[in-house]
Amino acid sequence: MQVRILGSAAGGGLPQWNCRCSNCNDVRAGSPDVQPRTQSSVAVSADGRTWFLLNVSADVRQQVQAFSGLWPPENGTRGTTIGGCILTDAEIDHASGLFQLREGGRFGIFSTALVHEWLSRYLRVSPVLAGFADRPWTELALDAPLELPLPDGSPSGLTVSVFEAGRHAPRYVPETESGARGSVAGLQVQDVGSGGKLVYAPGVESLDGPLAEAVRGADALLIDGTFWSDDEPIRMGIGDRTSRQMGHLPVAGPGGSLGWLAELPLRHRVYVHINNTNPMLNRRGREHGLVQGRGVLVGADGDAWEF
């Protein structure tokens, strides 16, 4: 399986349009210490020809442009190597790119039933896209692996399984509907041929249970690295909720993900969905050193693996 980070930032990207935190300022100033980053998305492929997008950010146009594997194939005027899109949740940063990919062709969209329902009812994704292109939607039951089909129905060589990673609902969903199963999933993608296994979980509320189970025997884990500390959003003056209240387990501090990751016997442990305020994004900073020192990578756009 080939795996490529298309976008390693959380919602807003880096720099974010309305942000003057030190990371955003450094990128605008052209500092070599902080890399610009596009919003959260990963591409996977069994054969290097057809790719599945794991989440589709508003930056997908730029991400396709930056990776020749996603350029239209040579036979014909119009076409795509995108074989389907799999969503972990119904957040705007993970789904709004579907509107960018409206110009024709046929490929499937995969998510839990609840994510499909929210995206259809509140953001009108399915009904709007239906007016432009063929986007058959497959609802994935938790913990039930599916052989991912290519748009023509033939096997892609990949299986996907969704597991519960949290119950946080997007802000546009009425509070009465929050806390439900299927709100936030992690993905386990396996290559049928090579046996290579990827776990992708850009929104993580807890390290026990389904996530701990899913990573057993995996080659790589791409995991939620949104905030460094629980109070970062409040301390930085960007919100009034903690990292945990926003559905993101912080990297550091008591119960943070870094200690757990450091002990995890996987070849590749990588932070993705990193918020622009996160101090680990500065390559010269103490926090970056702490992460690398535990054998964990601060993911960047374009990072790629094969297993």
Phi/psi of residue 269, each to 5°? -120, 120
Distance between the two ends of the chain, CA-based, in angstroms? Answer: 5
Q: Pick the binder of ligand MLT from 7, 11, 196, 285 (CB under 6 A).
A: 11
Kindly state whether residue 166 participates in binding ligand MLT, applying the rule CB under 6 A: no
Judged by CB, which is closer to Mn ion: 135, or 273?
273
Task: Please choose which of Zn ion, Mn ion, ligand MLT, none residue 92 contacts, taking the beta carbon within 5 to 8 angstroms, the exact cut-off set by kind.
Answer: ligand MLT
Binding mask 260-279 for Zn ion (x = CB under 5 A): ----------------x---
Amino acid at 86: I
CA dihedral 28, 289, 231, 203 (to 10 degrees): 80
Tokens 């009812």 correspond to what residue? 121
Kindly state whether residue 221 participates in binding ligand MLT, applying the rule CB under 6 A: no
Structure tokens at 92: 């705007």
d(CA 242, CA 249): 10
Q: How far is the CB of 275 from Mn ion (least distance, A)?
A: 8
d(CA 299, CA 278): 12
Judged by CB, which is closer to ligand MLT: 159, or 242?
242
CA dihedral 288, 290, 293, 294 (to 10 degrees): -110
Phi/psi of residue 196, each to 5°? -55, 140
Kindly state whether residue 170 participates in binding Mn ion, applying the rule CB under 5 A: no
Kindly state whether residue 91 participates in binding Mn ion, applying the rule CB under 5 A: yes
Task: Please choose which of Mn ion, ligand MLT, Zn ion, none residue 24 contacts, taking the beta carbon within 5 to 8 angstroms, the exact cut-off set by kind.
Answer: Zn ion
Task: Please choose which of Mn ion, Zn ion, ligand MLT, none residue 186 contacts, taking the beta carbon within 5 to 8 angstroms, the exact cut-off set by kind.
Answer: none
Kindly state whether residue 59 participates in binding ligand MLT, applying the rule CB under 6 A: no
Q: Pick the binder of Mn ion from 93, 205, 230, 301 (CB under 5 A).
A: 93
- All residues at 6 or more sequence positions from 157 whose CB lies less than 8 Å from its CB, including other chains: 46, 47, 191, 192, 193
Classified as helix, coil or strand, 114 is: helix
Task: Please choose which of Mn ion, Zn ion, ligand MLT, none residue 247 contacts, taking the beta carbon within 5 to 8 angstroms, the exact cut-off set by kind.
Answer: ligand MLT
Kindly state whether residue 232 participates in binding Mn ion, applying the rule CB under 5 A: no
Tokens 């990297």 correspond to what residue? 251
Binding segment for Zn ion (CB under 5 A), chosen from 21-29, 56-64, 149-157, 219-227, is 21-29
- All residues at 6 or more sequence positions from 51 whose CB lies less than 8 Å from its CB, including other chains: 43, 44, 45, 69, 70, 81, 82, 83
Q: Pick the binder of ligand MLT from 15, 166, 247, 299 (CB under 6 A).
A: 247
Classified as helix, coil or strand, 167 is: coil
Q: How far is the CB of 71 from Zn ion (least distance, A)?
A: 31
Binding segment for ligand MLT (CB under 6 A), chosen from 15-23, 85-93, 149-157, 263-271, is 85-93
Q: How far is the CB of 187 from Mn ion (least distance, A)?
A: 15
Alpha carbons within 13 angstroms on the beta-carbon side of residue 68 total 1
Binding segment for ligand MLT (CB under 6 A), chosen from 41-49, 90-98, 126-134, 159-167, is 90-98
Judged by CB, which is closer to ligand MLT: 92, or 192?
92
d(CA 50, CA 282): 34
- The strand pairing partners of 191, in sequence order, are 158
Amino acid at 289: G
Binding site for Mn ion (CB under 5 A): 10-11, 91, 93
Binding site for ligand MLT (CB under 6 A): 10-11, 91-93, 203, 246-247
